[in-house]
Amino acid sequence: MKKLTTVLILSIILSSFNVSAQSNTLEFGLKAGANFAQFTPNPLFYGNELGDYKRKIGYYAGGFLNIRISEKFELQPELLLAMQGTRLVIEDVETQGGFGSSPVLFDFKSKVSDLTIILPLEIRFYFTEKYFVEAGPQLGYLVDRKYKAEGNYLSPDIPIEREDPNDPNNFDYDKFEYGLNLGTGYKISEDLTLSARYFRGLNERDNNLKSSVFNLGLEFKL
């Protein structure tokens, strides 16, 4: 299934370049913005939810080709570098403060930061001259992952940030991802566009995780 999806998306991308070669409305541009990402579903421990994945603020930046197919349709392949990931919150973790002391409760918090190369391919439909909706597939490849945990387990009232000894970089994790985008946008001017997009991962990574990412940013045609 993964190979079939990859072949299909690559075929669409190659077709888009074939269309662009015959088009007089091929334009290049840059884009950047913020994303709000998290993993789903929540982690389980013996069938019970261990904690909650929360959205994490990140960013993306890169370039795009914009190909005018007709008055109403555009095709836009992109190459972006994105910092996304997730936060994890586990509430009411019990720990022993020291010999003879009473147990204390604290909230464990950690953060995963994934540096990912993403390749969206969007088909845009214009309702009006300035307003459009878009949808399309997206491929992603994770090039780096950082993991940090917060909390002083002996003194939970004094939070600290430190490198977690169980850093996922010490383990093998799935780097390839594919999914679908759905978004909308508005042309502020001929060269500047405001866009909002939601991405949902379709393949399960690291046994059962999928990405859920909201993007908001600007595009500038060169």
What pLDDT digit, counting tens, does each position of 115-151 carry? 999 999 999 999 999 999 999 999 999 999 888 887 5
Over residues 46-56, mean pLDDT: 80
pLDDT score for 171: 52
83-108 pLDDT, tens digit each: 999 998 876 666 665 566 666 666 77
pLDDT score for 170: 46
pLDDT score for 204: 87
Contact 96, 156 (CB under 8 A): no
194-208 pLDDT, tens digit each: 999 999 999 988 778
Count of other CB atoms within 10 angstroms of residue 222: 8
157-188 pLDDT, tens digit each: 444 444 444 444 445 678 899 999 999 999 99
pLDDT surpassing 90 at residue 10: no
Mapped onto helix, strand or coil, the DSSP state of residue 43 is coil
Q: Sign of the CA dihedral 5, 10, 11, 13?
A: positive
pLDDT score for 202: 93
Domain total of the chain: 1
How many helices (H) and strands (E) the chain has is answered by: 1, 12
Lowest mean pLDDT among 2-6, 43-47, 211-215: 2-6
pLDDT score for 47: 64
60-87 pLDDT, tens digit each: 999 999 999 988 999 999 999 999 999 9
Q: Taking Cα atoms as reference points, which of 68, 35, 18, 61 lies closest to residue 190?
A: 68
Element at 85 (helix H, strand E):
strand 73-96
Distance in angstroms (rounded) separating the CA atoms of residues 169 and 142: 12
Distance in angstroms (rounded) separating the CA atoms of residues 87 and 3: 30
Token pair 């845009």 is found at 124
Residue 20 backbone zone (phi > 0: left; psi -120 to 50: alpha; other: beta): alpha
Over residues 12-22, mean pLDDT: 48
pTM (predicted TM-score): 0.76
Lowest mean pLDDT among 7-11, 29-33, 40-44, 158-162: 158-162
pLDDT score for 206: 78
pLDDT score for 40: 87
- Angle among Cα 195, 208, 116 to the nearest 5 degrees reads 40
pLDDT score for 164: 44
Model confidence band, residue 45 (pLDDT cutoffs 50, 70, 90): low
What range does the domain containing 165 cover? 2-221
- Which alpha helices (DSSP H) does the chain contain, by range? 2-21
CATH code of the domain in which 65 resides: 2.40.160.20
Distance in angstroms (rounded) separating the CA atoms of residues 82 and 179: 15
Model confidence band, residue 50 (pLDDT cutoffs 50, 70, 90): confident
Contact 16, 77 (CB under 8 A): yes
